[in-house]
Amino acid sequence: MQTSMKITRKENYEPKELNLHETLFCSANGYIGIRGTLEEGVPEHFPTMRGQYLAGAYEIIPMKQAESLCNLVEKKQTMLNICDTQTIRLTVNGQEIDPFSCKVTDAERVLDMGEGYTERLTHYSLSSGGQLAVRIRRMAHFAIKELFTIEYEIEAIDFTGEAVFDSWHTPEVANYSDPDDPRLADESPCYLTRQELAYKGSMSYSVTKTKESGVVIAAATEHIIAADDKAESMIREEGGSLITRIRIPLRKGRKVTLLKYAAFSDSIREKEPRQKVTGLLSRVTVISIKQLYDEQKAYLSKFWERSRMSIDGDKELEDAVCFNMYQLLCAAPRDPHSGMAAKGLSGEGYEGHFFWDTEMYVVPFFILTDPALAKNILAYRYSTLPAARENAALVGHKKGALYPWRTITGVECSGYFPSGTAAYHINGAISYAVISYHQATGDDEFLLTMGLEMLIETARLWLDTGVYDRKGRFNIFEVTGPDEYTCMVNNNYYTNASAAYNLRCAADLYEKYRDRTEVIKLTKDLGITDLEIDAMKKAADAMYLPYDEDYGINPQDDAFLDKPVWDLASTPKEDFPLLLHYHPLHLYRYQVCKQADTVLAHFLFPDLASRETMEKSFRYYEKITTHDSSLSTCVFSMTASMLGLHDEALSYFGDSAKLDLLNRHENTKDGVHTANMGGCYMAIVNGFAGLRIRKDGLHISPFLPKGLRSYSFPFSYMGRKLKLSVDEDKAVMELTEGEGCAFKFFDKEEMIGKEKPWTHGL
């Protein structure tokens, strides 16, 4: 199996491109994230987001409401730019080496997804006439999550002289802001106060603390020189930074390598963060960098063995899909102390907040490729269940839990409740993920210790929210569905459908496991009654799902079809995305969708509508959806696949898969779109391959899109490892680990065993 996949880009040092490359060549491992900024920095007028982040590290800041109405959110959490340890400036023979003052003869960036590093390769022509080659390799280590390394190698190709490295350790840095973009913070203060800044021998270390949340951040750096000649080294403090200066002779044709090790820790995870980082560097710096690289490669080899997707017929598409999967790994939390941000750890878009995106679009990827990481994400949500109960009480509920629309610690961070707190469907996404994880893994331990409690409490929220009308239908009023261009509506189809699923599954799973010790205790702790479980089943059965006989579709909500249709064809191109150019109230009064809403409901809950209704709905919403959200085209692709609309499925998929690599929304500079990356995976696996794991087991119904010769991918199911391959003539399934099992191929019962691959014509 090939494990060395590379993304290579020429570097022209144009401001907009550099800003984009900061995201695309970010180094992250689920705990630390370092933007791919230039070590030497950029000119002042260049746009840049020079950031280093730790998953779940946050500050609490004011979010003053214009009118302080009851229980409106007036504080929020924001991610931290924790410090700057990536700055290294090089001087050769008295000349500062950077692409803005030196002549660059060649430059490129590399992301090696098999080896797990990013690299800058630059050739300079010096004013003295010499030629200098510079290679800078960065690595956020997957096995040692607190560790980040920079290998800075220079070669004097045709001259001798002297090199001076100045390497910074700056503990107090500011966050990024853009007051003109609601997806970013509108202020850029430093949220950290320095507690310690010192060095011992050649190791520097710092300790900072946030002013409100009290989170402590520790960082340490160490330098090692690999060269034929002895280097001179000293550390000085200057302007609140510790600067390590290393002076080394250069010899013609010889290489000099500076290894910079940085370690990070926080008080969320460690009692003594400073001891953690200094102790870690003391141990790591006696290990060869080659050993660290080998460990990284071994980690990724196992990851790609579980997840590597092959697409024959479109190399660019295959590269994009691999890039997306790699970025998901870089963003996924390695412990239950943090969720997964909408931008992962690649930038400050959405201020590092966690949304429903993770459970609905990312968890499905990890369920099939790394169930342990999926469990981590869900365990974080369980840890914030008390805060979700408090959130429900704040908005007036007597029972149940309402997960926040955007958060870091579990507390609501959305100041605009119509498209924030009112998006109750986040409960549906979290409950759907819990159920999907259990159906795919059979992990009863998780269900009984965490999952069932989450399902019961989210189901209670629906019971407390909904009301029965005179016709006996269960209605859910004043909520916002996935489409944020239509807010505060009655009976959003998607919300009602996901609520019904949540209610039904909570009741069924409770009854299935009610005699288990853990559930007996849960029943007592939560005061669960048979009457309450019956009420859940009754509400699920009576859930009102809007249907319009004139159009033969499921309306997005009760009033949606009564509004005028937005004239998308006449809307100037520069007015997209609409949310940046039109007042929300103006948008709410029209039939116009930011993203898939009812279309997503049809994909997730296909048994709730006829195929004819779903296809008519698909065609209707196709005409009025802007896809301003990155979460949209992937959903249209997988729903088109389900409906047999294969050409449409491929068209929507291509847009989704290449969104970040081609910067199609022109905002990748703020961070990658992790949810879209998960949705891209789903568009192939759940869409093209028709792989669905339901209550009755594994289903596949594959097709091969036009223009492709084949595709294949491995996946996990109930502890087994399988691989599905599809070409023009057939589908082949292999069982590579575990016992044989039954599955359904286009609803026909089949069996797969270890003896030989299962094959069926298409």
Residue 480 belongs to a domain: yes
694 shares a domain with 682: no
Provide the pLDDT for residue 189: 86
575 shares a domain with 693: no
Provide the pLDDT for residue 4: 52
Which residues of the chain, if any, have pLDDT below 70? 1-4, 179-188
168 shares a domain with 35: yes
C-alpha span between 383 and 379 (Å, rounded): 6
Query: Is residue 71 a contact partner of residue 394, using CB atoms and an 8 Å limit?
Result: yes
Strand order in the sheet with 147-156: 6-10, 103-112, 117-125, 131-140, 147-156, 255-266, 216-226, 203-210, 192-200
φ/ψ region of 42 (left if φ > 0, alpha if ψ in -120 to 50, else beta) reads beta
361 shares a domain with 239: no
Could you tell me the residue range of the domain that residue 636 belongs to? 309-688
**Nearest alpha carbon to residue 415 among 19, 65, 57, 28:** 65
C-alpha span between 82 and 146 (Å, rounded): 13
Q: Torsions phi, psi of 247, nearest 5?
A: -110, 130
541 shares a domain with 468: yes
Residue 53 belongs to a domain: yes
C-alpha span between 383 and 393 (Å, rounded): 18
**Nearest alpha carbon to residue 598 among 459, 486, 466, 726:** 486
Catalytic residues: 484
Alpha helices in 271-362 (DSSP H): 273-284, 289-307, 315-331, 357
Strand order in the sheet with 748-752: 692-694, 697-700, 741-745, 748-752
C-alpha span between 556 and 493 (Å, rounded): 5
By the 10 Å C-beta count (0-12 exposed, 13-18 middle, 19+ buried), 295 is classed as middle
Distances (CA, A) of 344 to 36, 247, 655, 675: 14, 37, 21, 9
Q: Torsions phi, psi of 164, nearest 5?
A: -125, 120
433 shares a domain with 497: yes
- Could you tell me how far CA 739 lies from the centroid of its own chain? 33
User: CATH number, domain at 564?
Assistant: 1.50.10.10
How many domains, in total, are found in the chain? 3
Q: Which two tokens stand for residue 350?
A: 């959405």
End-to-end Cα separation, the chain, in angstroms: 26
Neighbours of 530 (CB within 10 A): 11
Residue 563 belongs to a domain: yes
610 shares a domain with 739: no
Q: Torsions phi, psi of 306, nearest 5?
A: -85, -20
Residue 462 belongs to a domain: yes
- Pick the last residue of a domain from 626, 659, 688: 688
Q: What pTM, to 2 d.p., does this model score?
A: 0.96
C-alpha span between 377 and 358 (Å, rounded): 8
Residue 1 belongs to a domain: no
Q: Torsions phi, psi of 578, nearest 5?
A: -60, -35
- Pick the last residue of a domain from 688, 703, 726: 688
282 shares a domain with 156: yes
- The amino acid sitting at 461 is L
536 shares a domain with 425: yes
CA dihedral over 302, 306, 308, 312, signed as positive or negative: positive
Provide the pLDDT for residue 1: 38
User: CATH number, domain at 742?
Assistant: 2.60.420.10
Alpha helices in 406-451 (DSSP H): 425-441, 444-446
Please state at what angle helix 425-441 crosses helix 493-513, rounded to 10 degrees.
40
User: CATH number, domain at 45?
Assistant: 2.70.98.40
- Pick the last residue of a domain from 642, 660, 688: 688
Residue 557 belongs to a domain: yes
Residue 206 belongs to a domain: yes
Provide the pLDDT for residue 183: 58
Query: Could you tell me which residues are beta bridge partners of residue 733?
Result: 724, 758
Residue 475 belongs to a domain: yes
Query: Is residue 279 a contact partner of residue 128, using CB atoms and an 8 Å limit?
Result: no
319 shares a domain with 279: no
DSSP string, 82-121: --B---EEEEETTEEE-TTTSEEEEEEEEEETTTTEEEEE
Distances (CA, A) of 517 to 190, 459, 521: 50, 22, 6
651-673 pLDDT, tens digit per residue, is: 998 778 889 998 988 899 999 99
342 shares a domain with 277: no
C-alpha span between 33 and 129 (Å, rounded): 38
530 shares a domain with 385: yes
